[in-house]
Amino acid sequence: MHRYLERFSDAVDVIAGLLLGLCTLLIVVSTVGRYVFSWAIPDSFDLSRYLIGACMMWGFASLGYRGGHIAVDLLYEPLGPWGRRVLDFIAWALLLAFTAMLAYMMFFRLTGAYRSNEATFDLRIPVWPLVGLIWFGCASAVVTTAVAPFVCGKHEETNPLEGHGV
Amino acid sequence: AEVELTLSHWVPATHMLQAGGMEPWAKSINEASGGRINITIYPASQLGAAPDHYDMARDGIVDIGFINPGYQPGRFPILAAGEIPFLISDAKSGSRALDEWYRQYSAKEMSDVYVCMVHVHDPGTLHGTKGPIQVPADLKGKNIRPAHATMARLVSSLGAASVQVPAGEMRELISKGAADMTASPWNSIYTFGLQDVTKHHLDMPFYVTTFAFVMNKAKIDGLEPQDRKVIDDHCTSEWAEKMASKWADAEAAGRQKMIDAGGHTFYKPTPDEVNLWKQATASLEGEWAAAATKAGIDAKSAWASLAETLKKYDANVK
Amino acid sequence: MNTADLVAIGGFVAMFVLMGLRVPLGVAMGLVGVFGFAAMRGITPALNLLTTSPIRVITDFNLTLVPFFILMGVFATNSGMSRELFRTGNAWLGQFRGGLALSTIAACAGFAAICGSSIATAATMSRIALPEMRKAGYADATSTGVIAAGGTLGILIPPSVMMVVYAFLTETDVGQLLMAGVVPGILATLMYMATVLIAHGKHLPSGKTFDFKEAITSLRDVWAVLLLFIAVIGVIYLGIATATEAAAVGALLTMVIGILRGRLNTKLIMSSLVESLRTSVSLFSVLIGAILFGYFLAITQSPQKLTAFLVGLDFGPYGTLALILVIFLVAGALMDEMAMIILLVPIVFPVVIHLGFDPIWFGVIIVVACELGMIMPPVGINVFVINSIAKDVKITTIYGGVMPFILTDIIRLILLVAFPIIALWLPMTMR
Ligand code: NA
Ligand code: NA
């Protein structure tokens, strides 16, 4: 079971990373096209926006598994191991509840986009597949967050930079 | 007051639409209801992003939402007729006519809200950081903020890319260089602080944008009969014209303001060049008809009815 | 005081309690936002906020440059550019007394010019400069203090993720704001160097002998940093492309340079992508929460009342500004700086504008306040980051080392308040 969960979260990382790479390429190509060849990729504005959104939700799933959300350590630091475990549990439970609520409600944005024929501005491509890509990231975040306490820790050393904004 | 209603919109609180349209309308509702209905206005996207306002009214996040249907391409294909360039010549009578016409379709197209009224703005045109903007070929290879979905189709058919942001973000977009041109009515250039960036203007009444006030259905259906009547009495084609009027005057004055200020270049197309623009936009009517047919209405008779209503109020482009 | 006011106050209290329990900040703000909105408008509309708003935030084009600014820094670190900067700094400044410390500050400033994050700047410099300084006999307080302070340049010198967020929250022009950080950034660099010499002067080891040939050849290695800075910041300054386009091109260019020099492979590229994405996401999830919390506050109309209250105190513009800055400094000492600006800027910004201050200038002031917060005890993020890398140096030792820099930062803040032109001159020369 653990093996599958780890494989799942590795896949989440790969998808998230590839989406960011794809998005970088799309923006660079459209920039070069516009300034060098005065040729505009239709819908590049909408596509890059939605792709960044998808990156963020798949990245959110990656965070659900390994942690790294911005939190305030002020009261946490002085606590003993037992107190920390209690706070860890509260934080995890609320993160899971929020993520689940988000995924549930965001599903209606997906069905709404499908039913209302919402499309991109230039080529009028339906936007629901893009919203769907975002929603799948959010749904994956529910899974990765839910299983996080049962699998994390053995995977890799935590990055000291994570969870501290920028 | 017995009934508290929230009205949310996404233009600045200082916008003429609020001072000259929404506030008098809300005041009239308050008076007609003997003080029973009070409307609080939340401006400037305080409660949500501009393109989300339809959903916000539908879901009860707000009671009344001011929407630009053209911020969501494909979603309101029937009303999109009003967005076609060279169709509506005047904001006041045009709002009255469009509202009267759309009443046949509003319950079908915007079925999950109560549609109070629709209206348009004073005819707008293209404004850019560089010239010339005289003929359709001048748009090629440019990044253009199109104002709504139909204009987006037009600019992309002319070899430009659309960068669609709500009006409130126009300034940032243009001053950053993310767009070279924006479609807008005249005085909005001042309202949104673009007068020092967009110095080049296509001097021709080109297109209008449609707007709608939509209300949460459950809220309206739950009103006492006498309150409901007050709302119904304020959701009329006459009120659509009133809503649009003061704003339209303010927009039209913007062009003269630029002439007086100096430093602006106005490109006035010759009649032949106007025809080039008309040819460029000709396909939009067909595209609209196809989308409207798909939405389940008789597009041909709907178009005829729109033309006739516009003519009745002398709001058609000749 | 009416019901709405009470609900708003209750919301603030609930959010601070959740924050104290170490609930992720975005979740704390988001939950209070949703349930506070529910108290005002009912649960169904409140839940429906989650249908539309979060997607709107993550697909907002004003924020699309965030991951690219971070990605650029990660690629730069992973391809060794920070090491070259330090080496070049040392070749030129190493001759002076305390030369390694001066080189470290110069390298921090140089790295800040291609990296949008302060903690990334501090972390990458700890790995490179700290071992060298220790080897050369610098006191731990001095070497860690220099890196903690130098690291804060990451959000002042463009690119800066902090500025992107400020511009997003206040709808100011991000290009102008980024430019406004350049001159204060140079000022900060010089002031930090002076601080090292004055405050730590007595204990500084003497420098090495200057080697002209080495100094010249060292310049060969930093061409990439210079190229990237000009490509990204120059393009934004000249208004040739949008900030997002510049940032994406910059990120790709950093990667290509890394590949050409044989320092990035597929695995490293992939892990750089994931790493920067995760940093970006932790930021976006706070923004999602902040937007939800903002809708809740808006429906209670408390921002207007708070503005009226603060303006009504009648302290005069500079008195009110001083009050706001004190709030920021206290908050900065206690919490994460990103959390601080997301929480406080939307509330105080209308007041500041009402008082007639310049929004771009105020953005720089806020960034400097953030820099202070990053090294201020008890919660100085940069200090924690350095401590997590140099585990044998006590936190208190590092705080001891940064004290003189805190003083310099306060002087710099006062200078910027007194002479706004320091920040505003460069953006004013833009078109
Ligand atoms: Na930077
Ligand atoms: Na802090």
Å from CA of C248 to ligand 1 middle: 15
Summarize pLDDT for A109-127 with one digit per residue, the tens. 999 999 999 999 999 999 9
Largest Cα–Cα separation, chain B:
59
Quick check: A106 contacting B, CB < 8 Å?
Answer: no
pLDDT of residue C90: 92
Q: What is the pLDDT of residue C401?
A: 94
B272 pLDDT above the threshold of 60: yes
ipTM confidence score: 0.94
Q: Is the pLDDT of residue A151 over 80?
A: no
Contact B153 A119 (CB under 8 A): no
How long is chain A?
Answer: 166
> How many angstroms does the Cα of residue C97 sit away from the middle of ligand 2?
32
Query: What percent of chain B is predicted at pLDDT more than 90?
Result: 89
Q: Which ligand is nearest to the CA of C333?
A: 2
Whose atoms come closest to the Cα of C188: which ligand?
1
Instruction: Give the nearest partner residue to B141 out of A39, A46, A119, using CB atoms.
Output: A39
Give the span between the Cα atoms of C403 and C78, in whole angstroms: 31
Q: Tell me the two tokens of residue C405.
A: 């820099």
Q: How confident is the model at residue A14 (pLDDT cuts 50, 70, 90)?
A: very high
In angstroms, the separation between the Cα of residue A66 and the nearest Cα of chain C is 10
Give, in order, the Cα–Cα distances in Å from C68 to each of A20, A66, C259. Answer: 9, 22, 18
Which numbered ligand comes closest to the C-alpha of C384? Answer: 2
How far apart CA B7 and CA C127 sit, in angstroms, is 55
Q: Which residues pair with B42 in a beta bridge?
A: B8
CA-based nearest residue to C118, from C73, C75, C174:
C73
What distance in angstroms lies between residue B205's CA and the mean position of ligand 2's atoms?
Answer: 55
CA distance A31 to chain B (A): 10
pLDDT at position A38:
72
| Mean pLDDT in residue range B113-129 | 98
Chosen for mutation from C59, C60, C61 (greatest number of chain B CBs closer than 10 Å) is C61
CA distance to partner chain C, nearest, from residue A110 (Å): 9
Residue C170: what residue type? T
> Which residues 6+ apart lie within 8 Å of C324 measured at CB?
C310, C348, C351, C352
Ligand 1 center to residue C285 CA distance, Å? 22
End-to-end CA distance of chain C: 48
**% pLDDT > 70, chain A:** 92
Q: What is the mean predicted confidence (pLDDT) over B24-49?
A: 96
pLDDT at A153: 53
Q: Distance (Å) from the C-alpha of residue A160 to the closest C-alpha of chain C? A: 6
Q: Is the pLDDT assigned to residue A161 strictly greater than 70?
A: no
Q: If pLDDT is split at 50, 70 and 90, which confidence band does B278 have?
A: very high
| Cα B134 to chain centroid, rounded | 24
Q: What is the mean pLDDT of each run of 10 residues along chain C (431 residues)?
A: 91 92 93 98 97 96 90 93 93 91 96 93 93 92 95 96 92 90 97 93 82 88 90 86 89 96 95 92 91 94 84 88 92 84 88 93 96 90 88 91 96 97 92 57
With beta carbons under 8 A apart, name residues in chain C contacting B219.
none
Q: CB–CB of B164 and A46 under 8 A?
A: yes
What residues flank ion ligand 2 with Cβ within 5 A? C 332, 373, 379
Chains that touch C (3 or more CB pairs under 8 A): A, B
Quote the strand ranges of C247-305, DSSP E: none
With bands split at pLDDT 50, 70 and 90, how would you rate the model's confidence at A159?
low
Residues sharing a CB contact under 8 Å with residue C108, sequence separation 6 or more, in sequence order: C121, C122, C125, C147, C150, C151, C153, C154, C189
Residues 99-138 of C with CB under 8 A from A: 116-120, 123
The answer, yes or no, to whether residue A85 has pLDDT greater than 90, is: yes
> Which chains neighbour B (Cβ–Cβ under 8 Å, 3 or more pairs)?
A, C
Token pair 């000009």 is at which residue?
Answer: C230
Chains that touch A (3 or more CB pairs under 8 A): B, C
Residue A163: pLDDT above 70? no
Residue A34 contacts B, CB cutoff 8 Å: yes
Query: Does the beta-carbon distance from C385 to A160 stay under 8 Å?
Result: yes
Find out whether B146 and B162 touch, Cβ atoms under 8 Å.
Answer: yes
| Binding-face residues of B in 118-177 toward A, CB within 8 A | 140-143, 146, 149, 152-153, 156, 159-164
Cβ contact C430:C176 at 8 Å: yes
Q: Which residues of C touch A31 (CB under 8 A)?
A: 241, 245, 248-249
Residue A74 Cα to ligand 2 midpoint, Å, equals 10
Is the pLDDT reported for residue A45 higher than 60?
Answer: yes
**Quick check: C49 and B58 in contact, CB under 8 A?**
no
Q: How far is Cα of residue C308 from the mean position of the Cα atoms in its chain? A: 30
Q: In this complex, do A46 and B74 lie within 8 Å of one another by their Cβ atoms?
A: no
Q: Are C90 and C317 in contact (CB under 8 A)?
A: no
Residue B169 sits at the chain C interface (C-beta within 8 Å):
yes
Instruction: Determine the pLDDT at residue A154.
Output: 46
Mean pLDDT over the full length of chain B: 96
B60 DSSP 8-state letter: T
Instruction: State the pLDDT at residue A158.
Output: 57
Q: Could you tell me the pTM of the whole model? A: 0.92
Sequential DSSP letters for C49-62: HHHHHHHHHHT-GG
